Amino acid sequence: MKELENGRIRYYDNIKIADKYGEMKGMRPVREWDPATGKTRTWMETIDHKGKVRQVRPQENITNGQKIHYRFDENGNYIGTKEGITRNKMSNNKCIK
């Protein structure tokens, strides 16, 4: 659990270890609750072995029923979506713009 400066509370579930060993350790669900409004939002985070968030997939009700995977490089820089990865060429799991 983490209390944010804006008063929201973020709950992190346990990481589900990836089925195959690779660059990513696994994924975990995250739920954020706003006590002021009672609203919640949920997303999945994919975590690498260094503990950095490398992909975020919001709940479909936030993205108009679509599964959208927002990806980040090893430095935390946004590199695009999995679905729109044609905007960038991927080579050896690194983004080339």
Indicate the domain borders of the chain.
2-96
Successive 10-residue mean pLDDT values, the chain, 97 residues? 97 98 97 97 97 96 90 95 62 41
In sequence order, what are the beta bridge partners of 57? 44
Q: Tell me the two tokens of residue 61.
A: 């009700």
Q: State the pLDDT at residue 91.
A: 41
CA-CA-CA-CA torsion for 38, 32, 56, 43, nearest 10 degrees?
-60
pLDDT of residue 85: 56
What pLDDT, on a 0 to 100 scale, did the predictor assign at position 31? 98
pLDDT reported for residue 72: 96
pLDDT of residue 59: 93
Q: State the DSSP string of 27-69.
A: EEEEEEE-TTT--EEEEEEEEETTS-EEEEEE-TTTTTT----
pTM (two decimals): 0.80
